[in-house]
Structure 1
């Protein structure tokens, strides 16, 4: 295995906000706490240890043991859960939707990054324990975002009339999905392992949350991964004071709104990931997850007949906290209230909305976690690596947009000079003389000279493009090989990790895939990785 690195900024796939964060631009420092350098975790540990109540640990451990009651968890995961009762144990968290069969490949990168960071922290801070957490987005209701995965360029999709929180969905209709997937897997030993994994997860569990917990445990239980389901009455009881500040005082709406204004004022290149609502909670029951809204002092649940006075809604919250489901603004706070957490590991989009939240956390007295961009990677087989070498491509070349890549390589290999820059320079020198002449005569002549220069430069551009097009036809074989390779590595001209499901790589490498990822992914090395297997 070989690993090459590329700065995130040079890939062209990451926003200026995230690249500036990685560069620790001073303008962004007010929007986060400590940057995730290894040496900064000591102070984060001390701050979280002082602020995190022991009673929250007790509730957390009891809830996790109940959630894992029907799962044959690994010894490592059982030990990790037990350790959370002790004040010297802390967590590192990543979160992910309940995508069918893990969804895109980066699910694995998130988990591996999280586990690897806990190992690094244990080496550097040996008197403490560190537990990797996968926060399952069981309360999401965007079923269309999670009901499929891609396999060999085809969408394997679960068709189901879903309503409410996805974690509560029954696994009906997944037998048909299993049959479709099984038919295209083949009959190799690795294919049979995947077939059995899917069957045990989705056909032997009654809900999507249960299936996903089993899957996470099967893949990473031996590493002590703990999956947390926030759709839990006891955990949400710890959240009640913060729900009140949101629903009745509109605190996050105010604080996050102020932060967004400050953040966008820092740079015109920064776009806002999410906007706060006046109330950032949904009302959640079986088959229902709808926004809570206030109108004229009364509280309503969108598209239902539910209506509450302020006193009635507060009573409902005290009696049934499990019915109050946080949205994307409120969920991060929930996570930090119930977990002794040090660091959140997420993708660029996730970190972008976390950067909106620090003042909100400060206002409610909750420690803001360190924010770490998850590892991103491009996996290249030996055969593909050989093609890259034969085509004389650099790592940077692979990340060019396809048209840019083709144009660049055609210019390099063509026996004709397609660059008309010398001709443009000669043209500019000729027009300099005309500009001097125009200055000496009628100034109105100057506009005509400028127009003529622009016309002739445009003509040269057209000729250059036609010559390039002609050379593409002449060198068609090279263009085809080039585009075929890039299409393999960047399906749908997107990052591989956002398109492929892990099963495609598992068919090739089996259990070794995880070992390769654990060896290659360094969560504190903030660069894009190219892994040659």
Structure 2
């Protein structure tokens, strides 16, 4: 069996790595709190209690949450969680754009991390802490949300996708999906997934959920509710109209104090760059960091920019005075939407956020928001790095042991290890013997070229061209011989390819590509329970989970 090994996925963001490892004292001012400090969790709880009057009404928030989760058929555990929010319980929150069939596995990892962080905090603080998943349904990046990768019965990676209907670039939650599109997706999924004892129930559940889903966000929420309802995970879609009504006062504040906030973002960006770190989110001069669902363009999500008299779209084709937008914020808040820099503030206004679970890129761009929080007499919550997991099935683990592969080999150097293994099997020494012949040929042929050149200088080039053609033919024969020799190892190569597809599909970590449906189909609910029982750390990290 493959032994348990310690492996950390590379962190692409140096700023995030510095936060997680606390390796740079200069960045403490950017973040304030640190998820690995027990004292910081206690300090943050006290700060939440002191600033409770600055947040949205908790009773009204609970009403919105009950209505939204009730439409999803929420479990008793979820409704009990909402009751705790109504009574003032703090939350651990995290979110993601709605993805097809929940998108890549990292979304599941984030939900698990939210639940585990809430449990960990509750145990330390001796009080209820509620897990909340924020569905970023207001986002409009359809190509990021519309697909899922599964592994077929032939062990091949297959991409399933839903085509965006014709029309304006509205939010994902506002983009309607007809039943025919869901039916086509489920037929394609049925063809792709291998047969298993759980497959009929998986397809039945997906059929049931899709039949009452008008958007990708609806199906996304339905699946998360089904998977994590027993854990009391509360769901909310940022594009929910009732939630937008609660956001109205903060939208007004974001508009009224937009210039101050812009300066705050810019000043923090300059600090980050002065420390030698790059920016993960763009701080654009003149950007209001708010979107408007353009009422005259069918609800197209339009980024707002400031001008001399108010606000406009990017190209200046549409303009609004500050008074017009303040009126919209008060009377039609559903037309406004946050961007990556204003969303953290809005989230903290709505919820008593003890900690927010974030991926590496998010931790890097949240660093930009600290001064903006302070401008509004708020403060950034504790940033909790989400956990990463690699799921390893029994057959994959067995084959990794057979070929003496560690997780790092598969994730970092799989092709090199495959080539090295093939060379070890080459008892005919094809590469060495062809190499010897090529060296001997060059040694014998070069004097002939020199002889020809001594007779007529122009013959040197002809001789070199001739030698190159002969060498090319020897290389061709070597490649054909190598391929023929490798064919006897086809079964082994297929096993190696299956390992790569399962753990590093498309050359990326499993969590960034594969859909959870693969494991749901093979193991029912057991795979998810393994994740929920895996070791957890508030400072993030990576765990291998054997299925």
TM-score, scaled to structure 2: 0.79
Tell me which of 254, 260, 265 is aligned to 1:256.
265
How far apart, in 2, do the equivalents of 1:307 and 1:68 lie?
Answer: 37
Matched, 1:531 2:545: yes
3-state SS in 2 of match to 1:280: strand
Q: Which residue of 2 aligns with 1:105?
A: 105
What are structure 2's unaligned runs of at least 5 residues? 152-156, 432-474
Residue by residue over 1:410-460, the C-alpha shift from the partner in whole angstroms, topping out at 9 and shown as x without a partner, is 8999999x9xxxxxxxxxxxxxxxxxxxxxxxxxxxxxxxxxxxxxxxxxx
- 1:204: how far off? 2.0
3-state SS in 2 of match to 1:72: coil
Q: Which residue of 2 aligns with 1:23?
A: 21
- Would the aligned equivalents of 1:38 and 1:121 in 2 still touch at CA under 8 Å? no
Q: Which residue of 1 aligns with 2:118?
A: 118
Cα 1:339–1:4 shift into 2, 3 Å: farther
Q: Which residue of 1 aligns with 2:147?
A: 148
How far apart, in 1, do the equivalents of 2:357 and 2:94 lie?
Answer: 5
How far apart, in 2, do the equivalents of 1:291 and 1:79 lie?
Answer: 38
Matched, 1:158 2:172: no
Cα 1:398–1:99 shift into 2, 3 Å: same
How far apart, in 2, do the equivalents of 1:511 and 1:16 lie?
Answer: 36
- 1:303: how far off? 7.1
Cα 1:304–1:253 shift into 2, 3 Å: closer
Tell me which of 228, 245, 261 is aligned to 1:220.
228
Cα 1:392–1:183 shift into 2, 3 Å: closer
- Would the aligned equivalents of 2:196 and 2:522 in 1 still touch at CA under 8 Å? no
- Would the aligned equivalents of 1:280 and 1:330 in 2 still touch at CA under 8 Å? yes
3-state SS in 2 of match to 1:528: strand
Tell me which of 202, 225, 247 is aligned to 1:194.
202
How far apart, in 1, do the equivalents of 2:26 and 2:45 lie?
Answer: 26
How far apart, in 1, do the equivalents of 2:380 and 2:527 lie?
Answer: 34
Q: Which residue of 1 aligns with 2:69?
A: 68
- 1:18: how far off? 2.2
- 1:358: how far off? 1.0
- 1:492: how far off? 0.6
- Would the aligned equivalents of 1:113 and 1:521 in 2 still touch at CA under 8 Å? no
Q: Which residue of 1 aligns with 2:521?
A: 507
Residue by residue over 1:50-80, the C-alpha shift from the partner in whole angstroms, topping out at 9 and shown as x without a partner, is 1123752122111112223423210000111
Q: How does 1:6-21 map to 2 (within 5 A)?
A: 6=6, 8=8, 11-12=9-10, 14-21=12-19
- Would the aligned equivalents of 1:112 and 1:521 in 2 still touch at CA under 8 Å? no
How far apart, in 1, do the equivalents of 2:316 and 2:199 lie?
Answer: 46
Q: How does 1:89-100 map to 2 (within 5 A)?
A: 89-100=89-100
Q: Which residue of 2 aligns with 1:398?
A: 410
Q: Which residue of 2 aligns with 1:35?
A: 34
| Equivalent residue pairs, number | 478
How far apart, in 2, do the equivalents of 1:317 and 1:48 lie?
Answer: 26
Q: Which residue of 2 aligns with 1:497?
A: 511
TM-score, scaled to structure 1: 0.81
How far apart, in 2, do the equivalents of 1:131 and 1:530 lie?
Answer: 27
What are structure 1's unaligned runs of at least 5 residues? 419-465
Q: Which residue of 1 aligns with 2:290?
A: 281
Q: Tell which deviates more after alignment, 374-383 or 474-483.
A: 474-483
How far apart, in 2, do the equivalents of 1:149 and 1:298 lie?
Answer: 41
Matched, 1:205 2:216: no
Q: Tell which deviates more after alignment, 317-326 or 76-85.
A: 317-326
3-state SS in 2 of match to 1:325: strand
